[in-house]
Amino acid sequence: MSVVALYPGTFDPITLGHVHVVERASVLFDTVVVSVAESPNKQPLFDLQTRVRLAEDALKHLDNIVVTGFSGLLAKFAKQHNAKVLLRGLRAVADFEYELQLANMNRALEPELDSLFLTPVERFSYISSTLVREVARLGGDINQFVTPNVAQALKEAYQN
């Protein structure tokens, strides 16, 4: 039986912390579906198609990864992809309470769906898409936080 895991997020943009979680998940599961949420309420910098493209490029070195955009209810999307596991990254204790609420809600909506939390290695524990965007907006060097394609996209976005 093939085990599919979903790794959902806004990925605005995908960071090396995200890439690290996907790399680790790729050895645990047969298929990892990196699910880029449309998230219009968050007013992302990049549109959905751009975020999907950036993630595909950042993860092209992995064979069992599928990157796809989605909107709507995550539990329903997981069922459509026959996913049994939702992957979530936990950077700090502050993330845990919110992630626990999400895990319990998703389990209530889709009882067959389990949440698995992965913690990043220390060098990625403080990286977030929000902080990376802010550093890029202010002209800082983000090359240690994102892949080259993402660094270039951020540079172009903030030059305009």
* 61 assigned to active site: no
Asked whether residue 138 is assigned to any structural domain, the reply reads no
Q: Is 91 tagged catalytic? A: yes
Lowest average pLDDT, out of 13-17, 111-115, 120-124, 154-158, goes to 120-124
43 located within any domain: yes
> What is the number of domains present in the chain?
1
Pick the catalytic residue from 51, 84, 88, 129: 129
- Residue 157 domain flag: no
11 pLDDT tier (thresholds 50, 70, 90): very high
In a domain, 49, yes or no: yes
The 3 state secondary structure assigned to the chain is CCCEEEEEECCCCCCHHHHHHHHHHHCCCCEEEEEEECCHHHCCCCCHHHHHHHHHHHCCCCCCEEEEEECCCHHHHHHHCCEEEEEEECCCHHHHHHHHHHHHHHHHHCCCCEEEEECCCHHHCCCCHHHHHHHHHCCCCCCCCCCHHHHHHHHHHHHC
The catalytic residue among 81, 91, 115, 128 is 91
75 in a structural domain: yes
Nearest-angstrom CA–CA distance, 86 and 107: 10
Interhelix angle for 48-58 vs 148-159, to 10°?
A: 150
Which domain, by its residues, includes 44? 4-125
User: pLDDT for 41-65, tens place per residue?
Assistant: 889 999 999 999 999 999 999 999 9
Instruction: Identify whether 13 is part of a domain.
Output: yes
We report the CATH number of the domain holding residue 94 as: 3.40.50.620
Catalytic, 129? Answer yes
Does residue 148 form part of some domain? no
Residue-wise pLDDT tens digits, 133-144: 999 999 999 999
Which of 18, 51, 84, 88 is the catalytic position? 18
Catalytic (active site) residue 123? no
Task: Tell me if 139 is assigned to some domain.
Answer: no
